[in-house]
Structure 1
Amino acid sequence: MRLLHTMIRVGDLQKSIEFYTNVLGMKLLRTSENTEYKYTLAFVGYAEESEQAVIELTYNWGVSSYDLGTAYGHIALGVENVADTCEQIRSAGGKITREAGPVKGGSTIIAFVEDPDGYKIELIQSENIGQGLGNS
């Protein structure tokens, strides 16, 4: 088995595509529209779906916001330097919700960013990827 994608519902598809591509540097891989069931999908990622997991942005026509609830956590991205990435994201108009620094009770360097719909994205410094310590 292989993880294929994670789906999140978005209230403004174009705004979300711009965030994931222009702010986080992903590529828009493909889009599709279903007129019968009134939704549009956009798949974004750093590589093709055949190579790695991607994010499916789902826009249900006419729905502009969602209650994120308390069960969902975050998407995690490995980056070379968390502090530098935060500055790049801030410069591109992104919202940093936790500045770069060590995870509570550990040494893993992390930060958090928020997408246009309020979904959290954790940035984990590359030497710490796979250690499972970014759960703050």
Structure 2
Amino acid sequence: MRLLHTMLRVGNLERSLAFYTEVLEMRLLRKHDYPDGKFTLAFVGYTDESEGAVLELTHNWDTSEYDLGNAYGHIAIEVEDAYAACDRIRERGGKVVREAGPMKHGTTVIAFVEDPDGYKIELIQRKERAGQRD
């Protein structure tokens, strides 16, 4: 078994695709409209689906907004430098909601950004040696 994708419902697909591809620098892997069901699926990621997990952005044509609820946490992305990543994301119009810095009860450098629908994305700075996370 392997993890294939995580699905997020988005209110405006073009806005979300711009965020994930232009701000977070993912690639649009595939996109398909389902007119009979009135929805579109778009898959984005850093690698091909055969190589790693990706995000499925689901846009229901008749829904422009969702309640996120209180059970959802975040998506995590490893970055080389969390401080520089925050700067790049801000320059591209992204929203940084927690600046880069050490986590509260550890030394791992993290930051949080928010996508256009309010989903949180954690940026985790790569450690010097693999496997050293707090």
Compute the TM-score of the two structures, normalised by the length of structure 1.
Answer: 0.94
> Corresponding residue for 1:92?
92
Identity, in percent, stands at 63
The structural deviation recorded for 1:42 is 0.3
2:26 aligns to what? 26
Shift of 1:127: 1.1
Uncovered stretches (5+) of structure 1, i.e. residues with no partner: none
Within the alignment, does 1:48 sit opposite 2:48 as a pair?
yes
Equivalent residue, structure 2, for 1:14: 14
1:36 aligned onto 2:65: no
Kindly state the Cα deviation for residue 63 of structure 1 after the two structures are TM-superposed: 0.5
State the number of aligned residues: 133
Secondary structure at 2:84's aligned position in 1? helix
Task: Give the deviation of 1:131 after TM superposition.
Answer: 5.5
Match of 1:82 in 2: 82
**Deviation above 3 Å: which 4+ runs of structure 1?**
128-133
- RMSD of the TM alignment (CA)? 1.3
Residue segments in structure 2 that go unaligned for 5+ positions in a row = none
Q: For residue 104 of structure 1, report the CA deviation from its aligned partner.
A: 1.1
Give 1:37 deviation, angstroms: 1.1
How far residue 132 of structure 1 moved from its aligned partner, in angstroms, is 5.9
- Hey, what's the Cα distance between the residues in 2 that align with 1:47 and 1:97? 26
Give the Cα–Cα distance (whole angstroms) in 2 for the partners of residues 98 and 132 of structure 1. 19
Q: Once the 2 structures are TM-superposed, how far is the Cα of residue 15 of structure 1 from its aligned partner?
A: 0.3
* Offset, 1:130: 5.5
Deviation, structure 1 residue 100? 0.3
Q: Using the TM superposition, give the Cα deviation of residue 84 of structure 1 relative to its aligned residue in structure 2, in angstroms.
A: 0.3
CA distance in structure 1 between the partners assigned to 2:104 and 2:44 by the alignment: 30
TM-score by length of 2: 0.95
What SS does the corresponding residue of 2:28 show, helix, strand or coil? strand
